[in-house]
């Protein structure tokens, strides 16, 4: 089989050569879509013989990836990011995969590692991700009787590891895109809303929470998914706390407690409220609850890390 290595890039001169060098052993072509680089990104890509295309950035990663895929011509497309690298051991695995892959496979998943460095949304360091896609998918009938077309893709889970090595945090960019989608489309679908709530918990600053307050409060009133309601209530509790809205903080806290099965995020936020009010005895009770009596929903650090700072500090001075 042949493989198109496909990337969308912008100002990636610091990491692009490292990425392309690690993939040249399996690439039959490099396809690079540039969304407005002002550095040497395109020149680096051209040194690797890449087909380089310009695309005006529209704050839409899916549109950019679809455009990039449309420029590929090989049997399979490997979707890479410039801040990824594959080491020598896994390059060898990839070469063997390329020579042995059953052509009926539609998608190959790779182990995406080192996710907690410059993390924005994840609670784990490694996960399987779809990275290699058959460019043209054929449809196959199956079943000796009552036959049907197989609609689910054939997926193979490989043992190849990709190391994510970013040079900066991308959450600021992501929050601006979330806000643009809300403005232009009137809201987020369920998947994007979950990602928005998670990214707020993992990497949001105080302003990101207050910026989210109006939309999340509206989404809460229409919400039917119980776990998501708890996450929305946590976000609103923190937004109200940093905005100095004590009445709002009380309202959302009571709703969260009334639901039962309190999350670590909610318990920790109550601890923060009492710590900042100078009541460390009450604060430590909630920090203990976060660490020992609840489970994290959005970010494991609200159970495993953040409350322990204050529980270990007998004077309650914190970090």
- Domains and their CATH numbers in the chain: 3-164 (3.90.550.10), 171-311 (1.25.40)
pLDDT at 171: 65
pLDDT at 54: 97
pLDDT at 114: 76
Beta bridge partners of 110: 129
Length of the chain, in residues: 319
Taking only Cα atoms into account, the Rg of the chain, rounded to an integer number of angstroms, comes to: 23
pLDDT at 141: 87
The separation between CA 172 and the C-alpha centre of its own chain, rounded to angstroms, equals: 13
What are 24's two structure tokens?
């040249």
What are 234's two structure tokens?
């946590």
Tens of pLDDT, residues 6-32 = 999 999 999 999 999 999 999 999 999
Beta strands 107-113 and 155-164, pairing class: parallel
What are 191's two structure tokens?
């998947």
**Cα(35)–Cα(52) distance, integer angstroms:** 11
Task: For the chain, list the strands marked E by DSSP.
Answer: 3-9, 29-34, 51-54, 76-79, 84-85, 107-113, 126-134, 141-142, 148-149, 155-164
CA distance from start to end of the chain: 55
Query: 279-317: b or e for each residue (b if 16 or more CB lie within 10 Å)?
Result: ebeebbebbbbbbeebebbbbbbbbeebbeebbeeeeee
pLDDT at 316: 46
pLDDT at 127: 87
Nearest Cα neighbor of 18 from 60, 66, 68, 81 is: 81
pLDDT at 319: 42
Q: How far is CA 45 from CA 21, 159, 241, in A?
A: 10, 28, 47
Confidence (pTM): 0.79
Over the chain (319 residues), what is each successive 10-residue block's mean pLDDT? 97 96 98 97 97 95 95 97 95 97 95 72 76 93 88 94 79 87 94 94 94 96 94 98 96 95 96 96 96 95 94 57
């Amino acid at each position: 089989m042949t493989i198109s290595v496909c990337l969308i890039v912008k100002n990636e001169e610091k990491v692009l050569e490292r990425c392309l060098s690690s993939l040249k052993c399996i690439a039959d072509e490099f396809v690079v879509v540039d969304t407005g680089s002002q550095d040497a990104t395109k020149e680096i890509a051209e040194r690797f013989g890449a087909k380089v295309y310009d695309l005006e950035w529209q704050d839409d990663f899916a549109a950019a990836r679809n455009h990039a895929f449309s420029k590929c011509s090989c049997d399979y497309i490997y979707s890479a990011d410039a801040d990824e690298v594959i080491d020598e051991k896994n390059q060898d695995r990839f070469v063997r995969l390329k020579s042995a892959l059953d052509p009926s496979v539609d998608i190959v998943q790779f182990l995406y590692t080192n996710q907690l460095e410059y993390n924005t949304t994840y609670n784990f360091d490694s996960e399987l991700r779809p990275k290699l896609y058959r460019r043209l998918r054929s449809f196959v009938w199956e079943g000796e009787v009552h036959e049907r077309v197989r609609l689910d893709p054939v997926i193979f889970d490989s043992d190849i590891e990709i190391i994510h090595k970013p040079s900066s945090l991308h959450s600021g960019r992501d929050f601006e895109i979330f806000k643009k989608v809300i403005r232009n489309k009137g809201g987020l679908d369920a998947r994007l809303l979950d990602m928005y709530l998670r990214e707020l918990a993992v990497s949001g600053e105080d302003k990101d929470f207050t910026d989210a307050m109006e939309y999340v409060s509206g989404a809460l009133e229409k919400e039917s998914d119980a776990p998501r309601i708890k996450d929305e209530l946590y976000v609103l509790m923190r937004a109200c706390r940093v905005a100095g809205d004590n009445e709002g903080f009380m309202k959302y806290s009571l709703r969260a407690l009334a639901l039962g099965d309190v999350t670590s995020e909610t318990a920790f936020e109550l601890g923060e409220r009492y710590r900042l009010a100078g009541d460390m005895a009450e604060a430590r009770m909630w920090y203990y609850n976060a660490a020992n009596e609840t489970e994290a929903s959005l970010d494991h650090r609200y159970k495993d890390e953040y409350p322990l700072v204050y529980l270990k500090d007998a004077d309650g001075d914190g970090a």
